[in-house]
Amino acid sequence: MIKRNMQRLRRMSLLVLLALFLNKSLAKEYIIGVEAVNYYPLFDFSASDASKPSFSKELLSRFFESRNYEYRFLPLPIKRFDKWFEEDAIDFKFPDNRIWREATNLDITYSTPAIKLMAGAYVLEKNEHIARSEVHKLGTILGFVPTLWIDEVRSGKVELMEEYSPLSVVKHLLHANVEATNIDENVIRFNLEQLGSKEKVVLNKGIKHQVYAYHLSSIRYPEIIKEFDQYLVEHKTEIEALKNKYQIKAQL
């Protein structure tokens, strides 16, 4: 009798393990499209160092793991940003923002802001008060949308000096090859530290600037976007600690 019960327990255990294995193997793996650029400390999903943490990677990983979702990050070229959902079969995009895309018929659901930042003209401290008309070259990342400079760029009044890395953009700014840059101040500060530079780069408040946000977006899974919104509310203290960990200055 004891032997028979033991055999029954073993069979049940095997069935449970098999069910768990099948459930794991059949689980949906969500593909998160991310920008293939080192934009540390905000994000760095570069294939060359897939294990390197950053604010965005840690935030998204914590969320998906809290829901026991299978996921992976897919670094994609920024130049095809508007085509990711259509051409790369991704489930989510991060970071995303309505203001970065042209008119589209896609039914995209955006999360509430994951983090708010300041967009504007970042200049050497000595150029803190130069006029907008004095900016002739703007340093930026190849593929980034210079939202606040679109009219000047299209009219030819401002030339974009595009680079693949923030480090190169910061070097251009230090060497006066450009008068301003539109990359994020947290990224600028980190790269100044990497260069060992004592120069100060500041926001020119006399030139148009505005608060913008990083959002998680999706076409297929609006219900998971709602879950992310809830996560942001429920883990607000943890997320603030995460910003502090990566020394990120964010907007309220």
* pLDDT 10s digits, 85-119: 988 889 999 999 999 987 678 899 999 999 999 99
**pLDDT score for 11:** 62
Pairing of strands 180-181, 115-119: unpaired
**pLDDT score for 102:** 73
Q: Provide the whole-model pTM.
A: 0.87
**pLDDT score for 23:** 47
Whether 249 has a pLDDT exceeding 90, the answer reads yes
**pLDDT score for 22:** 45
Determine the distance from the C-alpha atom of residue 195 to the mean position of all C-alpha atoms in its chain, rounded to a whole number.
Answer: 23
What is the dotted CATH code of the domain comprising 7-115+213-245? 3.40.190.10
The answer to whether the CB of 40 falls within 8 A of the CB of 187 is yes
Q: How confident is the model at residue 239 (pLDDT cuts 50, 70, 90)?
A: very high
Q: What is the dihedral of CA 80, 71, 64, 48, to 10 degrees?
A: -60
Domain with CATH 3.40.190.10 in the chain: 7-115+213-245, 121-208
**pLDDT score for 201:** 98
Give the whole-angstrom CA distance, residue 155 versus residue 100.
19
pLDDT in tens, 9-61: 566 656 555 545 444 446 899 999 999 999 999 999 975 555 689 999 999 99
Total length of the chain: 252
Return the residue matching tokens 């897939």: 50
pLDDT in tens, 126-173: 999 999 999 999 999 999 989 999 999 999 999 999 999 999 999 999
Q: What are phi and psi of 174, to 5 degrees?
A: -65, -35
Question: Closest Cα to residue 91, out of 71, 75, 62, 111?
Answer: 71
**pLDDT score for 5:** 54
Q: Which two tokens stand for residue 204?
A: 């020119």
Reported CATH class of domain 121-208: alpha beta
Q: What are phi and psi of 116, to 5 degrees?
A: -110, 135
Return the residue matching tokens 């255990």: 13
- Pairwise pLDDT comparison (26 vs 81), residue with the higher score: 81
Whether 2 has a pLDDT exceeding 60, the answer reads no
